[in-house]
Amino acid sequence: MPVGNKESLISAINYGADAIYLGGKKFGARAFASNFSYEELEEATKLCHLYNVKIYVTVNTLVYENEIDEVVDYIRYLHKIGVDALIMQDVGLINLTHQMFPNLEIHASTQMHNHSSESLNFLKNLGVKRVVFARELPLDYINNIETDLEKEVFIHGSLCISYSGECLFSSRLLGRSGNRGECAGMCRLPYELYEDDKRVITDGDYLLSPKDLSSIDNFKKLLDSNIFCFKIEGRMKSPLYVAYTTKIYRTLIDKYERGEELKIKKEDLETLESIFTRGYTGGFLHQDKDLMNVKSPNHIGLKIGEVIDVNNHKIAIKLNHDLYQFSGVRFKNTNIGININFLYDKKDNLINRGKKGDIVYLDNFINLKDKDEVMLTSPIINIPKEIIKKIPIKMEVKVKINEPLKIKVRDKENEIELLSEVLVEKAKSAPVSEDRIKEAIEKVGDTPFIIESLKIDVDNNIFIPIGVINRLRKDVLDKLKKVREDKKIYFEEKEYKEEKIDKEMSEGLSVHVRTKEQLLTCQKLNIKNIIVDDPKLMSDNLIYRIPRDNIHHNYNYKRLLVTDYASLDKYPHNYGDYPLNVTNHYTLDYLSKYASMITLSVENDSDNIKNIILNDKNNLNVEVVIYGNIELMIMKYCPINAIVNKDKVCHACENNHNYYLKDRNKEKYKLINNPLTHSTVIMDYKKIDLIKDIPIYKKMGINNFRLELLEETSKEVEDLIERVRMYE
């Protein structure tokens, strides 16, 4: 269960989460959540362990070269305070962490685009124990992958329409990297679809905005599968959202284990819908084609009534659901939201609740003109602000004359026994009864514990001060609490030894072409490294760029450009592309064991590239993209098929038309479809042009450069290559 602050953590524990994941102030993929300070992380770890809840910390961003020492110190701290695992993305950092802290469990973030058995083999060799699968995969496919790694999938919450870890949209446009936890949500903005120069009419403008994933109706299939862990999205959601999503899925799991029908109360489902939803979809996980909500990127809410009359002063609403004062509602069609500070009945009396079937009235200070549907978007629900969950324990008390008082307490894993410093005496006048002893022992209400069984072995006619019993009871429970809080794996730190990697140095220009005209031009100009991603253009002397979702394909070409970790494992000794997200020399070194040359991430600036090269003792072959339109996003979803062809059998990508998305600033993003993998790529509208910086890169020791072509003409290609050759 995700938690973005302490209030959400309390909700997750109270409502039955087995594990929670959270982030610190840095290096987590939700940089704009409240997140936890060092002290709060330690407090959260103790609290989770007290209630036998696992705690996983997200260190799942790409790490720049000058951040390595800081992030290693952070990981060392997390290991020492006893977190149960780290969720990570950066390959170099994973390898570094595994080598330095071999006892620290690592989970591969969905940001690594984990999508095949080859991906899992790569991760296993890296030291990963659990893998969070890409959200583009169906359950049956995941279930059939054979691996001894633990499988985890997202089952509820917001969806990225892009392959996770493969989105550069907000990075390229706003300088806010999704791979660094700073996603600006470009998929939630309005776009227009164009076929050539003609706009395609759509039902809404939010063409990249998915509904929220829900597995409630399909949860038995998940429970019947070999998935080890079910994950809910929502570190930026409210404690109320955390409470109800946890409650619902906990209820389903418990009913499944008891052999009961997996049904949820209607009011709980409606409450969850009112707390947050963009509409629900089963997503790719459950092969639901109803994926998108193109009409709204925001919380829709629960329909609770309709406006039946409206004038300049009042809005009359016929309720089909209870409505409370101070709730938040949205008028669906006009998309205006308000908080209900004043709620009236038909006699114009102020009320704090309208019941299902009532007609209630609101002040029309929003100048609503038309009848509309009324959606509840902020319900009035109180949830506990403190931990109310109790830990069941068994207690045994032995009260024997001339012996110390003995109290033994047991939970499922621990046993604590303490003796009093004073001896039990034979009573001289007023003996202490067994009932009185029991009453003192059972005073555990202000502790995290609840006594499920109590055995008292007491002699007749004894005396011991009640204060002694109270103190020993408190001491034994305090000790049990501390033992539970301090549960952690053994801390071990080893020296990291950088591996020596020998590579034959190379230098040259590579050009990624997308048309036959571009290919012929490059061949005419004697370009040795020509990259193609269209099999129709491929020949033996070219480099084939493997699609990033190459799950079921095999390639027999001599030269390959690999784009993901699965391909690295499957096709070693080829070239590695920029989607491998190399932002530090540890990643460069590790991936260079698989590939003969690596293209650095386009998210690097020149300073970070310089630092990578300076710190790389192996003098490895690296390449820098110096020109072109970058792939912003790759999607399993095809807006052309969904909108133009209405999900019929689609050949739009082969109809010789060009398709674009146009944003609010009138910039056009070309869509490229891959008919082999049924994926869609959104291209950047603006070009990188760093050709003039070639001398700077050469001074760093970089001699390999890439041009990324899109729609350039033969003349434009010639001019580009001439510009590059000026610096040879």
What is the CATH number for 321? 2.40.30.10
User: Residue 258, class by beta-carbon neighbours within 10 Å (0-12 exposed, 13-18 middle, 19+ buried)?
Assistant: exposed
pLDDT bucket at 539, cuts 50 / 70 / 90: very high
Inform me whether the pLDDT recorded for 529 exceeds 60.
yes
Give yes or no: residues 526 and 645 share one domain. Answer: yes
Inform me whether the pLDDT recorded for 137 exceeds 60.
yes
Give yes or no: residues 535 and 617 share one domain. Answer: yes
Domain termination site, one of 356, 378, 400: 378
User: Is residue 322 situated within a structural domain?
Assistant: yes
What distance in Å separates the CA atoms of residue 259 and residue 229, rounded to the nearest whole number?
20
Give yes or no: residues 313 and 280 share one domain. Answer: no
Say what the alpha-carbon torsion angle 251, 257, 259, 262 is, to the nearest 10 degrees.
30
Q: What is the pTM of this model?
A: 0.93
CB 425 within 8 A of CB 462: yes
Any residues with CB less than 8 A from the CB of 364 and at least 6 apart, and which? 310, 311, 312, 313, 314, 315
pLDDT bucket at 241, cuts 50 / 70 / 90: very high
User: Is residue 207 situated within a structural domain?
Assistant: no
Q: How many CB atoms lie within 10 A of CB 589?
A: 24
Give yes or no: residues 396 and 343 share one domain. Answer: no
Any residues with CB less than 8 A from the CB of 701 and at least 6 apart, and which? 613, 619
pLDDT of residue 650: 64
Which CA distances in Å does 521 have to 16, 517, 541, 708?
A: 63, 6, 15, 14
Give yes or no: residues 425 and 371 share one domain. Answer: no
Any residues with CB less than 8 A from the CB of 460 and at least 6 apart, and which? 431
Give yes or no: residues 328 and 454 share one domain. Answer: no
CB 58 within 8 A of CB 92: no
Tokens of 566: 């699965």
Give yes or no: residues 518 and 663 share one domain. Answer: yes
CB 472 within 8 A of CB 437: no
Q: Mind giving me the DSSP string for 384-446?
A: -SS----EEEEEEEEE-BTSEEEEEEE-SS-EEEEEEEEEBEE-SSSPPPHHHHHHHHT--TT
User: Is residue 194 situated within a structural domain?
Assistant: no
pLDDT of residue 32: 58
DSSP state for residue 609 in the 8-state scheme:
H
What distance in Å separates the CA atoms of residue 169 and residue 726, rounded to the nearest whole number?
32
Give yes or no: residues 222 and 110 share one domain. Answer: yes
User: Is residue 414 situated within a structural domain?
Assistant: yes
pLDDT bucket at 646, cuts 50 / 70 / 90: low
Mean pLDDT within 318-347: 94
CB 609 within 8 A of CB 693: no
Domain termination site, one of 378, 408, 443: 378
CATH number, domain of 623, equals: 3.20.20
What distance in Å separates the CA atoms of residue 346 and residue 360, rounded to the nearest whole number?
6
> Between β-strands 198-200 and 323-324, what pairing exists: parallel, antiparallel or unpaired?
unpaired
Is the torsion defined by CA of 291, 294, 299, 300 positive or negative?
A: negative
Inform me whether the pLDDT recorded for 197 exceeds 70.
yes
pLDDT tens-digit map of 201-223: 998 999 999 999 999 999 999 99
3-state secondary structure of 646: coil
What distance in Å separates the CA atoms of residue 572 and residue 580, rounded to the nearest whole number?
14
User: Is residue 193 situated within a structural domain?
Assistant: no
Give yes or no: residues 14 and 39 share one domain. Answer: yes
Q: Quote the domain boundaries for residue 353.
A: 302-378
pLDDT bucket at 29, cuts 50 / 70 / 90: low
pLDDT of residue 25: 81
Q: Which long-range contacts (CB under 8 A, 24 or more apart) does 692-696 make?
A: 693/606, 693/626, 694/626, 694/724, 694/727, 695/727, 696/606
User: Is residue 558 situated within a structural domain?
Assistant: yes
Q: Which of 358, 329, 333 is nearest to 342 (CA)?
A: 329
Residue 639 identity (one-letter amino acid): P
pLDDT of residue 280: 96
User: Is residue 386 situated within a structural domain?
Assistant: no
Residue 497 identity (one-letter amino acid): K
Tokens of 67: 């951040």
> Can you count the helices (H) and strands (E) in the chain?
19, 36
> Between β-strands 415-423 and 404-410, what pairing exists: parallel, antiparallel or unpaired?
antiparallel
Give yes or no: residues 473 and 569 share one domain. Answer: no
H-helix or E-strand spanning residue 706? strand 704-708
Inform me whether the pLDDT recorded for 343 exceeds 70.
yes
pLDDT of residue 501: 73
b/e string for 633-652 if b means 16 or more Cβ within 10 A? Answer: bbbbbbbbbbbbeeeeebeb
What distance in Å separates the CA atoms of residue 511 and residue 498, rounded to the nearest whole number?
32
Give yes or no: residues 573 and 513 share one domain. Answer: yes
Give yes or no: residues 578 and 633 share one domain. Answer: yes
Q: How far apart are the first and last CA of the chain?
A: 55
- Number of structural domains (the chain) is 4
Domain termination site, one of 252, 285, 318: 285
What distance in Å separates the CA atoms of residue 351 and residue 343, rounded to the nearest whole number?
6
pLDDT tens-digit map of 75-102: 999 999 999 999 999 999 999 999 999 9
What distance in Å separates the CA atoms of residue 660 and residue 679, rounded to the nearest whole number?
15
What distance in Å separates the CA atoms of residue 515 and residue 512, rounded to the nearest whole number?
10
User: Is residue 633 situated within a structural domain?
Assistant: yes
Q: Which of 170, 171, 126 is nearest to 583 (CA)?
A: 171
pLDDT tens-digit map of 478-526: 999 999 999 999 999 999 988 777 666 677 899 999 999 999 999 999 9
Any residues with CB less than 8 A from the CB of 230 and at least 6 apart, and which? 152, 153, 155, 215, 222, 249
